[in-house]
Amino acid sequence: MSKEFSYGGQAVIEGVMMRGRRSMAIAVRRPDQSIIVENKPVTTLAARYPIFGVPIIRGVSAFIETLIVGFSALMFSADQASGMDEEEQLKPWELALTLIVSFALFVGLFIVLPNVFAVWIQKTVHNRVLVNLAEGMFRIAIFITYIVVVSRIEDIQRVFEYHGAEHKVIHTYEAGEELSVENAKLHTILHPRCGTAFLLIVMVTMVLVFSLLLRSTTLAMRILTRLALLPVVTGISYEVIKLAGRPNPPKFVQWIIAPGLWLQKLTCQEPDEDQIEVAIEALTSVLEADGA
């Protein structure tokens, strides 16, 4: 078993996507209860251009690639889980539009709104660091509120159960155990390399970077400077999450990642055996493609 590559993925609609060295596999439970697995070859920017393997920069490229691959997997799962015919399935332009709208919502909710709040606060608080800290705390509050609200939606709860199945199966593989439902059931649904933990680290890194480095006071400049620094924030957060995913990470990294593990108790739920079976199918597919 390779120790150099970190296998992982994400939950999708009625299924799980897993990424390997050479491919990604999407396993989905169809309405007739059969499992369809689609395996696609993937190449990373870092594999083609060494500059994208440099620390910090690799985090930005990995994040963009993950978004694109993740949305593609999500659209495929939606088509398969609903039993749509090929003619009814989403087109590439619809996927692109979904990505653009999602990014716009992210900017509006986590960049624009906190800075509107900060500009309002700075009318009475004239300390730059305190204003930026208030902006960051407001952003984290929005993020946690969003997670809490979304976690109460019944259809999303199904996705969160598949999220738990993904983590259990990855834990089973990393423990060197046979990939079976019985073995996976014994593992925790929490994992330090989770996207939920990564997003929370991004939010905290934003607080630190923006509070200490930025002096902008107008709303337009606050928004522009934060957008400009997003790649830096993403790159730093990626390096932290990579450290957290190693065996026995440094103590300070464990402290940093702990809130992300707590938050996973909202975004991960205990899966049933059928959901674990789907996650195993996805991981098995990429392991076979890798010859692992």
Task: Spell out the alpha helix ranges (H) of 151-194.
Answer: 154-174, 181-185
Q: How far is CA 21 from CA 115, 130, 289, in A?
A: 40, 44, 8
DSSP class of residue 268?
A: -
Q: Does 2 reside within a domain?
A: no
Q: Does 238 reside within a domain?
A: yes
**199, 91 contact by CB (below 8 A):** no
Q: Does 209 reside within a domain?
A: yes
Domains held by the chain: number:
1
Q: Which amino acid is at 131?
A: V
Range of the domain at 95: 8-290
Q: Retrieve residue 14's tokens.
A: 């009625």
Q: Does 1 reside within a domain?
A: no
Residuewise pLDDT in 10s, the chain (292 residues): 344 678 999 999 999 999 998 899 999 999 999 999 999 998 888 888 889 888 889 989 988 888 888 888 988 898 898 776 655 556 667 767 877 888 899 899 999 999 999 999 988 988 888 898 999 999 999 999 999 999 899 889 999 999 999 999 999 999 999 999 999 999 999 998 898 889 999 999 998 888 777 677 789 999 999 999 999 999 999 999 888 877 778 888 888 888 988 999 999 999 999 999 999 999 999 999 998 7
> 23: which strand partners?
41
Q: Does 3 reside within a domain?
A: no
